C-alpha cells in the first residue's frame, strides 16, 4: 500500500529536497499564517514579525485588517510555555487561531538530540551552522509539491473529493467537561 500511493524516499533525489516557508525547521507557522492570510482575507504577507510575549520562546504573530486583528497565531516552545498555554486554554483566555508547539526551548534545532558541547549545553556555533544549511534549502510551497499532488490524485481521489474532506479536514466544537481519569493536572 505505502509504496504504490506515496513516494518512497529512495525515489527522492538531493535536488528534490525542499522546505516550507520559515527561517528554521520549526517555522511551519509562517507557511500556515501566510496561506491563511491569502485564502481568508486576500492579503499577501511577505514578512512575518514575531512579538515576544513572556519570553523568547513564547511569541505571537497577528494580522490586522481595517484596524481589527483577524488572525492571531502563537509559537510556544518548551514545556513551561506549553503548560502555561494549557492553563490559559482551560480558563478560556487563550485566543489563538493556530499554535505551533514544540517541546524543545528554542525549537527543534536546539533539542537534546542535537550536538552539544562537552558540558551538555547546546553548541551555538553548530546551531548557527545548521540554521544556515536549513535556510539554504530552496523553499517550495507544499501545495506545489509533485509528490503531494500525486498523493491527492492517487490516494485522496482529487483535491476537492469527499475523501479529502473526511481525511484532512476537521471541525471543532465545544466539548462538555466531565470528570475523567484522563484529565491532566498541570
**Pairwise pLDDT comparison (25 vs 135), residue with the higher score:** 135
Q: Note the pLDDT of residue 116.
A: 72
Q: Which range is least confidently modeled, 59-68, 126-135, 153-162, 169-178?
A: 169-178
- Provide the percentage of residues in the chain whose pLDDT is more than 70: 72
Q: Note the pLDDT of residue 85.
A: 86
**pLDDT (tens digit, 9 = 90+) per residue, 125-163?**
887 887 788 778 777 777 777 777 888 888 889 888 999
Residues 6+ apart with CB under 8 A from 28: 20, 22, 100
Distance from chain centroid for Cα 30: 8
Q: Note the pLDDT of residue 2.
A: 36
- pTM passes above 0.75: no
Query: What are 24's three cell numbers?
Result: 528554521
- Provide the percentage of residues in the chain whose pLDDT is more than 90: 17
Instruction: Round to whole Å and give the CA distance between 86 and 78.
Output: 13
Residue 170 — pLDDT band, cuts 50, 70, 90? confident
97: DSSP letter: S
Q: What are the sequence ranges of the domains in the chain? A: 19-105, 142-168
The CA distances from residue 18 to 78, 100, 109, 134, in Å, are 26, 20, 17, 9
Quick check: 45 and 64 in contact, CB under 8 A? no
Among the listed residues 33, 11, 30, 12, the one whose alpha carbon sits nearest the alpha carbon of residue 21: 30
**pLDDT (tens digit, 9 = 90+) per residue, 86-119?**
888 888 888 899 998 888 776 666 666 666 777 8
Instruction: Round to whole Å and give the CA distance between 54 and 109.
Output: 21
Res. 18: pLDDT tops 70: no
Instruction: Round to whole Å and give the CA distance between 145 and 7.
Output: 12
- Describe the strand order of the beta sheet including 68-77 as a list of residue ranges: 51-55, 58-65, 68-77, 98-102
**Pairwise pLDDT comparison (85 vs 27), residue with the higher score:** 85
Q: Note the pLDDT of residue 61.
A: 93
Does the 19-105 domain belong in CATH 3.40.50.300?
no
Amino acid at each position: 500500500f505505502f509504496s504504490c500511493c506515496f513516494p518512497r524516499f529512495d525515489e527522492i533525489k538531493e535536488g528534490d529536497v525542499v522546505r516550507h516557508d520559515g527561517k528554521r525547521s520549526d517555522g511551519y507557522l509562517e507557511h500556515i499564517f501566510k496561506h491563511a492570510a491569502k485564502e481568508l482575507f486576500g492579503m499577501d504577507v511577505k514578512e512575518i514579525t514575531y512579538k515576544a510575549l513572556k519570553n523568547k520562546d513564547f511569541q505571537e504573530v497577528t494580522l490586522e485588517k481595517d484596524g481589527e486583528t483577524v488572525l492571531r497565531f502563537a509559537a510556544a516552545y518548551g514545556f513551561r510555555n506549553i503548560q502555561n498555554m494549557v492553563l490559559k486554554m482551560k480558563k478560556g483566555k487563550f485566543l489563538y487561531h493556530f499554535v505551533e508547539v514544540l517541546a524543545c526551548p528554542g525549537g527543534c534545532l536546539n533539542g537534546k538530540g542535537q550536538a552539544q558541547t562537552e558540558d551538555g549545553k547546546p553548541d551555538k556555533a553548530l546551531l548557527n551552522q545548521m540554521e544556515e544549511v536549513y535556510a539554504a534549502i530552496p523553499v517550495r510551497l507544499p501545495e506545489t509539491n509533485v509528490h503531494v499532488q500525486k498523493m491527492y490524485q492517487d490516494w485522496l481521489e482529487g483535491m476537492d473529493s469527499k475523501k479529502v474532506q473526511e481525511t484532512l479536514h476537521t471541525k471543532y466544537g465545544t466539548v462538555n467537561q466531565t470528570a475523567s481519569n484522563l484529565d491532566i493536572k498541570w
